[in-house]
Amino acid sequence: MEFETEADLCEFLAGWLEAHGHNIYRQVKCPEGGKIDILTQEYAIACCHRLTPETLLASIDNLAACGPHVAQQRSVIAGLDSSVEDLNFDTVEGGVSLGDAVAQAGIAGMEVWFVDQIETLQDYYQQQTAAGAEASLEEPIHAPPLYGKKPRSHWNPWAGVSVALGMASILAVSFTLAYRILQEPTTARFSPEQQAAWDKLHGAVAVWDMQTAQEALQGLQRGSNPCGAKFANRLQSGLDSQGAEGFREINSIKRALNEQEGCNLEIIVYDFAP
């Protein structure tokens, strides 16, 4: 199993999770600097191209910054490790072995997935890469094995880490909105394809997921509902010029179209877009 970049590895994992019914949000940033590469209903995943002591320790710090705000998800560090020596946990960087780094992840309540050592993922990879094969998994999803996890001890490596209270409330509301919105219909009359794109967009906006939002906007732009297409074009223009800050204009765009075009687009209030 091999991937050219960390991004390719992330997309492989995202595809595997989507095949098992998970809603995927990518590159979810935490206000104080942490970042979740893949967020689902069950998992908060940080991807590493290669699992080494250095990358593991960095990922532990990264997930720890977001940990209080994804308490309902399982925190996971996922990456490749094809080296027999590494799997024996003997590799040392900066005085820390791979085994020690995995143990620290376990103490912090995080799981470590050696992606190329997990049979279910190996099968999915072979299906994806085989010529003409369809990527479909029939067996139920099983949690990958956790290497090196140790029982929690009295030692807490994150003692003294302080997180702003406002960050907790903002992200908690955002994640709740993301899952709630996916179940709520809009008042506009959309085709099934446009409706799916609409729901996908609002779930992505709730967690400021630019990639997923832009994919959803393309679906709205291609749809037959002119209000949905106009809304998508205007929001896309805002994202092109302002980046993720353009999400703040989502409800202003809807209100303008509702008043000017009689569109009746549903207004969903966010903390950042009243």
- The pLDDT tens digits for 153-193 are 332 333 333 333 343 343 444 444 443 433 333 345 677 88
- The pLDDT tens digits for 88-132 are 455 555 677 888 888 888 888 889 998 888 888 888 888 888 744
CA–CA distance, 89 with 99 (Å, rounded to integer): 4
pLDDT of residue 10: 92
- The pLDDT tens digits for 33-83 are 778 999 988 899 999 998 888 898 999 998 888 877 777 888 999 999 745
CA–CA distance, 195 with 232 (Å, rounded to integer): 13
Cβ–Cβ < 8 Å for 112, 148? yes
Is the pLDDT confidence value at 142 over 90? Answer: no
Is the pLDDT confidence value at 236 over 70? Answer: yes
CATH tag for 6-129 (out of 3.30.310, 3.30.70, 1.10.10, 3.40.1350): 3.40.1350
Residue type at position 140: P
Among candidate residues 190, 223, 252, the one with its CA nearest the CA of residue 267: 252
Among candidate residues 157, 168, 172, the one with its CA nearest the CA of residue 109: 157
Share of the chain above pLDDT 90, in %: 16
Is the pLDDT confidence value at 135 over 70? Answer: no
Share of the chain above pLDDT 70, in %: 73
Residue 61 phi, psi (nearest 5): -60, -40
* 225 token code pair: 């509902």
- Delimit the domains of the chain by residue range: 6-129, 165-261
Among candidate residues 8, 141, 15, 138, the one with its CA nearest the CA of residue 74: 141
CA–CA distance, 37 with 139 (Å, rounded to integer): 25
Q: What residue has token string 């980046």? A: 243
Neighbours of 103 (CB within 10 A): 18
Q: What is the pTM of this model?
A: 0.52
Least confident of 1-5, 50-54, 157-161, 203-207: 157-161
